[in-house]
Amino acid sequence: MKLNELKVIVTGGASGMGRTFSLELAAAGAQVVAADVNIEALQEVTDASKGMVFGVECNVADEASVANLFEMAYKHMGAVNGLVNNAGIIRDGLLIKKDRETGEISNLSLKKWQQVIDVNLTGPFLCAREFATLAARNGVAPACMVNISSISRKGNPGQSNYSAAKAGLVSMTKLWSQELSRYGIRTGAIAPGPVDTPILLQMPEKARSGLTRMVPLGRFADPKEIYEAVRFIFENDFFTGRCIELDGGMNL
């Protein structure tokens, strides 16, 4: 698939890696709809792209909001043949934790578990389902979706919810490739290690330094390096059902 033929939705497309994906894809000639819950950030990425990126407010965990996103995208672009499932949140916490002073045992709340599962796993499911349904109904092919997973899918302490969601996303990437190939739809996943985004910049310096030491290359990824994998999946028509690991050699 040539990027100048791509009509793509990028979820979480107004900040972090998603912002980079939106701007780089637009600069490469794709038509881009950025979906995000942050209206101000959507306006900023639209301005930064000089109007090349069209922003739509969307909560990917809400079925009606996702349906509206695709309706707006079809009206704006005429079709949707690309999807980047990038939207995600973090609500970290150990399954159980003992207070050092009181000895009291606390645990990961159901609320934190559900918030992450809703956005990071149900969200991609809802977007993929809408994407595939409309593509099949309207004869939109070839088409391709890219799911942003994480190195944490291997299991990272303090991230039961996040690890489960990101592992599930890779599994769905594989099974969707088998289910959707008959409709001309390919799938791919990317599992980044630490990426230099605003979320990591908010970490205490000691924590950032410790995380950097875990990466053999000794640094975080630039968001544009992750974008290069997104671009590869879209452009390589023989790629489907696989996950690209971009973790700088890091192991969990």
Instruction: Kindly list the catalytic residues.
Output: 162
Burial of 237 (0-12, 13-18, 19+ CB in 10 A): exposed
Radius of gyration of the chain (CA): 18
Q: How far apart are the first and last CA of the chain?
A: 34
Contact indicator for 60, 14 with CB cutoff of 8 Å: no
Contact indicator for 184, 195 with CB cutoff of 8 Å: no
Residue given tokens 């792209």 in the structure block? 49
Reading the block at residue 110, the tokens are 């159901």
Reading the block at residue 83, the tokens are 């999807």
Rounded distance, CA 170 to CA 120, Å?
A: 12
Burial of 157 (0-12, 13-18, 19+ CB in 10 A): exposed
Helix, coil or strand: residue 155: coil
